[in-house]
Chains A and B, each alone.
Chain A
Amino acid sequence: MTPLLYIFGLPLLGALLVWLVPRNYRFVIRLIALGSSLGALVSALVLFYRFDLQQTGYQFVTHVPWVESLGIAFHVGVDGINLALLFMGAMVTFAAVCVSRHIKEREKEYYLLLLLMSGGILGAFASLDLFFLYFFHELALVPTFIMIGVWGRGERRNYATFQITLYLSLGALIALAGLVLLYLHSGARTFDLVVLTRQLQEQPMPADLQHLIFPLLLFGFGILVSLWPFHSWAPLGYGSAPPAVAMMHAGVIKKFGLYGLIRVALPVLPQAAWSWVDILSVLCLGNILFCGWVAMRQRDLNLLIGNSSVAHMGFCFLGLASLSVAGITGCVLVMVAHGLLAALTFGLSGYLNQQTQTLEMKDLGGLWQRMPYVGAALMMAMFAGCGLPGFANFPGELLVMFGAWKTLPMPVVLAAWGALVIAAIYMMGAVREVLHGPLAPRWNQAQDVPGWWAKLPYTLLLTALLVFGFYPPLLTRTIEPAVTALVRKAGYDVPLPAKAKGRATAEKAAPSLPSLQR
């Protein structure tokens, strides 16, 4: 048993145990949830520590045949890319369980679903088999639906639950069609990602097939990441979800689509990727600028954070669209940073909502006086969201811009403007409205987070943001080699001038690249 299996195995085992425990043993149920998520986090730390930087390829691999006649196997392993994501996912899971103490209604179901959800998504990040990649991700679907419906807030939560479920299923199914087509046309007759990637890099698919499959993966996975204009499920869904679900979903599950693009679409469909980057770079501006602008207009703190989270995803897409080592490394870094940040902000807004029963920003104000800890944490989170140096988002966004600058100058300028100006406007506006100004007498009873134990999840997330912000090599030294290998093998590392020209005429540039030759 490698620590990798524990990372997603423990939450799933926890879910099973919670199911077996009678519902009135509430303390035991909470203990199981906490123990299994802590176990996952510790396993992730061990994995991070034991990860061999010198070694290329996947480590901690487990391979068990499942349906041999179809070429499906339970195959898990890590390289630099999913190592970072697994670590972030395990941390957010633990934080999400910690902030769930206020749940008093139907605790058994709540923790069962939460653990199922986190086990599912962590399993997806660990999987190296297309079938299991999809399978684990879908495992999180029903829990999300029920959790938002039962423990969510707001009058529109019914609408939100259905919207989020339908959108995500549609995205997942479109992606599934793409994955199945990859399987059928690879010639390898296996769902094993490693074999499939190797096979397709040695013998690339015909261009017309690539152009058929890539959009399926791009838009299928794109919908899962709330790619503009398919993003409308996200803000409302997060706005209505209980804090832990918003943390898990915005922080971790949403990253699955990007992960799928990096892991599956980019390595094996290079020709199609070249021709779609222009469209992708326009769409990601939609995320950054349009959703940023929408965030400015929000009056509800959760909706603001939700929209800002969609805007951040634009950066990730920009990094992907650059098809460069720096850009994609930046993208993974932003994924990790944003995962921690989204969990932190949704956790804090959830706490505010518990204390005030509202997240309407005009009703709040002056809360820093009553809640110095929450105020400081929220302020720091907002700074991180603006891309302030010192937080993990900064190096990520910087790398994305470096990567994209050579190939996509115009989108980068606009994105930088969107990120710096627009994000600063709404983030700082929110800080002012919620934390500063006079304290309304009705919030006199509001209390700051009590005790170190309750502060732990926020502190952990913030610490991670700061550690990775001040010392980004902790992540980049694991991510970058994996990304470099990916980019090399797919033939994206064309000399820069050729690349700049080559995007329009990818066919012409292709002959100079061995892996693009057919």
Chain B
Amino acid sequence: MNISLLSLEILVILLGVALLVVDWFTPAAHKRWLGIAAALALLFFFGLSFLQPSSLPQYAFGHSYVLDDLALFFKRFFLLAGVLVLLWAVEFGDRLRGGVAEFYALLVFALAGMMFTASANNLAMLFVSIELVTISFYVLAAYQRQVRESLEAGVKYLIMGGLASAFMVFGIALIFGITGTIEFEILSAKMAAKSSPAQQPLFQLGMLLLLAGLGFKIAAVPFHFWVPDVYQGAPSPVTAFLAAGSKAAGVALLLRVFLHVAPLNVLRWETLFIVLAGATILYGNLGAIPQSNLKRLLGYSSIAHAGYLLMGMAAFSLAGATALLYYLAGYLFTVLAAFGVITLVLRQTGAEDVAALGGLGRRSPFLAAILTLAMASLAGVPPLAGFFGKFLLIKAVLEQGTQATAFYWLAGVAVVGVVISLWYYFGVIKALYWGEDAADMSPVEISLPSRVGLVVCVAGMLWLGVLPEIPLWLAEQGAMALGL
């Protein structure tokens, strides 16, 4: 068994344990430093990830764990998200009544779960790793236990998540029942074989239930019901991690399962994915329009982004998967920038309405500029990451148009979705610069680590938007692991 392949995960778990242990000896006043130290450690692990051998897939635990370019792409993604989320968590710490170090540790454990999802190579590993993520999030969402909305978010996420897990495990049982295996490679071989079980009703049902479970994680319609309440109620850093990390973990598994193990074309689910993508884009964007709570608005917008990601799946091509990974990378920086600003600006007031951002353009031009860039990137305006990502996705979908006209319709829906989204994203920009002044107009304090974190987010958005060659290459390497 090749334990060294798991070195990153092991380090992350050790970090989580260390946080819990060091917490005993850390006076309350210095707990903030634990978070910063953890972020630095994760940054170090992020650096280490570039020393990992990739190119050829390597296996551990009897092929239940794989390390390939796709897994590495996602591991780096999660580590970076972890660094930034921990920085926001440090800013948020004073609003937590429960243990702060435990909060950091839970974030780190969720991160470990995400890193395992990236490498899951059989259905058991898939389930266990995604559950590690989800169970951490049950606690994290309800962590602000003195706030009713937070408790509500936790309970809602628990119930819906429990249901989704049950569906998923039922689906896995069906798949195992029909094929007699949970190994991805054997499944994939069976799919390619002549007497493939792909069209058997029970197998299809099993895959459908698996899709439902993963659809829940990425917040795709119709498994999205938890999103607005949980996004609104959970502490801001947790919402940020849900939006960036948890969604990406679901995407990693979707990619592996539906583009590699049991491909869409074998299942004959192309239309299903096109419809899912289109409905998710429209629902998310339309739902966001009337929202006045900023986190809720971003919740709906995150549904819409799940739809864009599904576009990349639906295209079922190397270009589509590459575009998806690229888009996800852009989404990471963008959504974390947005939540970083939200964490900083709204921590004193506690209000999370868009109106509370009023006058931020004068109160703190730095934060206003960053939120403007984040909103513009989410909306897909050049020269930011969101633009190039959407461009690649639309291109990938149009490329498939010659095979089925439905792809043209999907591209049309995406375009309409982008236009609708401008309405609410630019509504936020409006509040920043010429909305009514908020009650509190004192300058917003920004600590150095947060400032650095925000600058990193902006640099990431600009890097992906202006110099896409290297990230595109990385995304393509990752996508190639799927063997499309």
Contacts and interface: CB of A to CB of B under 8 A. Distances in A.
A518 B7 CA distance: 61
A149 B376 CA distance: 16
Of the candidates B362, B401, B422, B430, the one having the most CB atoms from chain A within 10 angstroms of its own CB is: B422
B398 A158 contact: no
A142 B425 CA distance: 11
Interface in A34-77: 66-70
B170 to A, nearest CB: 41
Interface in B381-406: 381-383, 387, 391, 394-395, 398-399, 401
Contacts of A139: 382-383
Given A66-B469, A145-B426, A169 B418 contact: yes
B419 A67 contact: no
Interface string A167-201: 00110011011001101100000000000000000
A212 to B, nearest CB: 8
Interface residues of A, number: 34
A292 to B, nearest CB: 29
B287 interface: no
B429 interface: yes
Given A141-B381, A142-B376, A142-B381, A169 B419 contact: yes
A253 B429 CA distance: 22
B394 A176 contact: yes
B449 interface: no
B391 A146 contact: no
B463 interface: no
Contacts of A68: 469
A161 B429 CA distance: 11
Contact of A146 (B382, B418, B429): B429
B467 to A, nearest CB: 9
Contact of A170 (B365, B395, B419): B419
Given A141-B381, A177-B394, A177-B398, A169 B422 contact: yes
Nearest to B368: A109
A186 to B, nearest CB: 13
A149 B398 CA distance: 35
A176 B433 CA distance: 29
A177 B399 CA distance: 11
B439 to A, nearest CB: 21
A405 interface: no
B372 A142 contact: yes
B162 interface: no
B395 A180 contact: yes
B166 to A, nearest CB: 41
B315 to A, nearest CB: 12
A181 B398 contact: yes
Interface string B410-433: 011001001100110010011001
B39 to A, nearest CB: 28
B473 interface: yes
A459 B53 CA distance: 67
Contacts of A470: none
A173 B469 contact: no
Contacts of B399: 184
A135 B422 contact: no
Interface in A232-259: none
A165 B391 CA distance: 19
A23 B362 CA distance: 11
Given A135-B383, A146-B433, A162-B426, A174 B415 contact: yes
Main SS of the interface on chain B?
helix
B61 interface: no
Contact of A180 (B376, B398, B472): B398
A149 B433 contact: yes
A131 B383 CA distance: 11
Contacts of B423: 162, 166
B434 interface: yes
Contacts of B468: 67
Contacts of B426: 145, 161-162, 165
Contacts of B365: 23, 109
A359 to B, nearest CB: 21
B69 interface: no
Interface string B429-464: 110011000000000000000000000000000000
A165 B422 contact: yes
B476 interface: yes
Interface residues of B, number: 32
Interface string A470-481: 000000000000
Interface in A81-131: 106, 109, 131
A118 B387 CA distance: 20
A150 B469 CA distance: 36
A300 interface: no
A173 B434 contact: no
Contacts of A23: 365
A202 interface: no
B422 A69 contact: no
A138 interface: yes
B387 A69 contact: no
B371 to A, nearest CB: 12
Given A69-B476, A146-B433, A149-B433, A135 B419 contact: no
Contacts of B401: 181
A104 to B, nearest CB: 14
A177 B411 contact: yes
B394 A180 contact: yes
Nearest to A185: B402
Contacts of A150: 361, 433-434
Nearest to A161: B430
A67 B472 contact: yes
B386 to A, nearest CB: 11
Contacts of A169: 418-419, 422
Interface string B356-378: 00000110010000001000100
Contact of B429 (A131, A145, A158, A173): A145
Contacts of B415: 170, 173-174, 176-177
Contact of B419 (A134, A173, A181, A184): A173
Nearest to A141: B381
Of the candidates B365, B391, B473, B476, the one having the most CB atoms from chain A within 10 angstroms of its own CB is: B391
B398 A184 contact: yes
Contacts of B411: 177
Interface in A134-161: 134-135, 138-139, 141-142, 145-146, 149-150, 158, 161
B395 A184 contact: yes
Contacts of B398: 177, 180-181, 184
A375 B422 CA distance: 41
A446 B218 CA distance: 62
B473 A69 contact: yes
Interface in A296-313: none
Contacts of A184: 395, 398-399
Of the candidates A68, A106, A174, A184, the one having the most CB atoms from chain B within 10 angstroms of its own CB is: A184
A149 B381 contact: no
Contacts of A146: 372, 429, 433
Nearest to A132: B382
A135 B381 CA distance: 9
A166 B427 CA distance: 12
A165 B376 CA distance: 12
Contacts of A176: 391, 394, 415
Contacts of B430: 149, 158, 161
A-B pairs with lowest CB-CB distance, top 7? A173-B415, A138-B382, A135-B382, A170-B419, A149-B434, A180-B395, A150-B434
Given A141-B381, A149-B433, A161-B430, 13 more contacts: A67-B468, A67-B469, A69-B469, A69-B473, A109-B365, A139-B382, A149-B430, A176-B394, A176-B415, A180-B394, A180-B398, A181-B398, A181-B401
24 contacts: A67-B469, A68-B469, A69-B473, A69-B476, A106-B362, A134-B382, A138-B381, A139-B383, A145-B426, A145-B429, A149-B430, A150-B433, A150-B434, A158-B430, A165-B426, A166-B423, A169-B418, A170-B415, A173-B418, A173-B419, A180-B391, A180-B394, A180-B398, A184-B399
